[in-house]
Amino acid sequence: MTVSTTLPLVASLRETDPDLAALIDAEGRRQSESIRLIASENYVSQAVLEATGTLLTNKYSEGYAGKRYYEGQQFIDEIETLAVERAKALFGVDHANVQPYSGSPANLAVYLAFLQPGDKVMGMALPMGGHLTHGWGVSATGKWFTSVQYGVRKEDGRVDLDEVRDLALAERPKLIFCGGTAIPRTIEFAGFAEIAAEVDAVLVADIAHIAGLVAGGAHPSPVGHAGVISTTTHKTLRGPRGAMLMSDEEHAKKLDRAVFPGLQGGPHNHTTAAIAVALKEAATADFKAYAHRIVANAKALAEAMADRGFDLVSGGTDNHLILADLTNRAIGGKPAAQALDRAGIELNYNTVPYDPRKPFDPSGIRLGTSSITTRGLTEEHMPQIAAWMDEVITAEGDGDSSVASRVRNEIREFVAPFPIPGYSD
């Protein structure tokens, strides 16, 4: 295997563990030579990569800035404070906690902050586009709390706020989640806020997928509507694998206590530093333009897919995410996703609303445009991507696996002029 000479973060690793270094290089090559359409992924900048790989990983820092349980925190406190202040400024919030390890622990901290076991929580059902941690049955949040699930209209794949209000009035949840993991349309934060106020519930806006779009002004903000905001940092925000909780002043102390000491010990300081870098990048005019390009690319790709007969849930997209129901293509989402992966197009199989198939073999595929937009692809490239998807899925349905190999070679050549941060052949 040829090993790249342009991966500075693994220079010593090659000597210590060449097997692992070769695998990392292979992953870099795979990411570089594919069209990556997984909606929850992105390419971080070289600066974010470097911050993630620093000696900050050596330091243990239980507690918060100025209130630690270990000594030697002089610079760690400054790093965490920098990340917190940048989050507050970027999103316009009163309070930010940058310590959650990932999105699911962040959401679990919200439960710990405001609910007792058995209390009622309301969220979008997972098959309708919600997240596991919004009270779905197989999650701890569905096992430890009483879950009330809302969905979308069958005819158009959109949330009906009148139905949500009726359900909330009947069930009186203490916590309401809006947002999710497969929602291609604008989240109506103001409408959810009115419902939450009417039933005296805490409204939590989970913006894990759209945080970068919110920061860049390409999606409305939940600030001023939701008392609590949860997000990951690695999707459209283009940061490291981590999470944040943000809130108004009223909910700040309970959230902080829930994260530490409620759920976690010491934060991952190298991740905190990388979050700080990503937040600085997200405050620039370039990032704002990037966020709008993500949406423009998604709309162009959705239109090109629709022109080729793809059945898009809700008819299209308002953000970075597209959800397609392949029922009319006579192929399941899983074999379609696997065929596309062999062809160099990476996305995930996904349930669609009212899906008659099982979750591990669903009817749909989910895709997003954050990663390809980071690479520099534009609206003019989207019809070609849709054409390749159409060709590969059609061939797979006909039992022809040879098409995927040919398309993979075409894609490798297609993406070559668009290098990714942190890797070069």
Spatial contact of 87 and 232, defined as CB atoms under 8 Å apart: no
Active-site positions read 60, 62, 206, 232, 235, 241
Asked if residues 218 and 370 have their Cβ atoms less than 8 Å apart, the reply is no
* Alpha-carbon span 20 to 137, nearest angstrom: 37
Query: Which whole-number Å values give the CA distances from 3 to 10, 18, 26, 179, in the listed order?
Result: 11, 10, 8, 42
Cα–Cα distance for residue pair 308/281, rounded to 1 Å: 37
Contacts of 416 (CB under 8 A, 6+ apart): none
Neighbours of 191 (CB within 10 A): 16
| Amino acid at residue number 349 | Y
Phi, psi of 323 (to 5 degrees): -120, 120
Burial label, 71 (beta-carbon count in 10 A; 0-12, 13-18, 19+): exposed
Nearest by Cα to 209 from 181, 230, 239, 228? 181
Q: Which tokens go with 287?
A: 């990032």
288-307: buried (b, 16+ CB within 10 Å) or exposed (e) per residue? eebbebbbbbbbbbbbbbbe
> What is the spatial distance between Cα 271 and Cα 113, in angstroms, rounded to a whole number?
23
Q: Do 160 and 152 form a contact (C-beta atoms < 8 A)?
A: yes
Q: Please state whether beta strands 311-312 and 95-97 pair in parallel, antiparallel, or not at all (unpaired).
A: unpaired
As a whole number of angstroms, the distance between CA 416 and CA 399 comes to: 29
Which two structure tokens, joined as six digits, stand for 372? Answer: 């390809």
Burial class (CB in 10 A: 0-12, 13-18, 19+), 393: buried
Residue type, 148: V
Q: Are 321 and 37 in contact (CB under 8 A)?
A: no
